[in-house]
């Protein structure tokens, strides 16, 4: 799985687990809502600074955003 896809899937999963909308997460991470949507759809890649802000907003370690899903 491509790293950008891993990040997108993890962002969506963690955002939903935190019961946040894309707009709420974008606001908390101080990024544009359309950029947040684009990250979840693999349209853009994120800088290290954005990844850090997203992790803080989600209250997770940044490395968790890149953790590949376990394969059965």
Backbone angles phi, psi at 26, to 5 degrees: -60, -45
Whole-model pTM over 0.85 = yes
pLDDT in tens, 46-63: 999 999 999 999 999 999
pLDDT in tens, 7-30: 999 999 999 999 999 999 999 999
- The CATH code that applies to domain 3-60 is 1.10.260.40
Which residues are CB-contacts of 61 (< 8 A; sequence separation ≥ 6)?
A: 55
């Amino acid at each position: 799985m491509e790293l950008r896809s891993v990040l997108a899937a993890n962002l969506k999963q963690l955002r939903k687990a935190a019961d946040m909308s894309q707009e709420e997460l974008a606001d908390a991470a101080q990024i544009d809502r359309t950029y947040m949507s684009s990250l979840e759809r693999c349209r853009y890649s994120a800088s290290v600074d954005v990844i850090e802000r997203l992790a803080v907003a989600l209250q997770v370690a940044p490395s968790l955003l890149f953790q590949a899903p376990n394969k059965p």
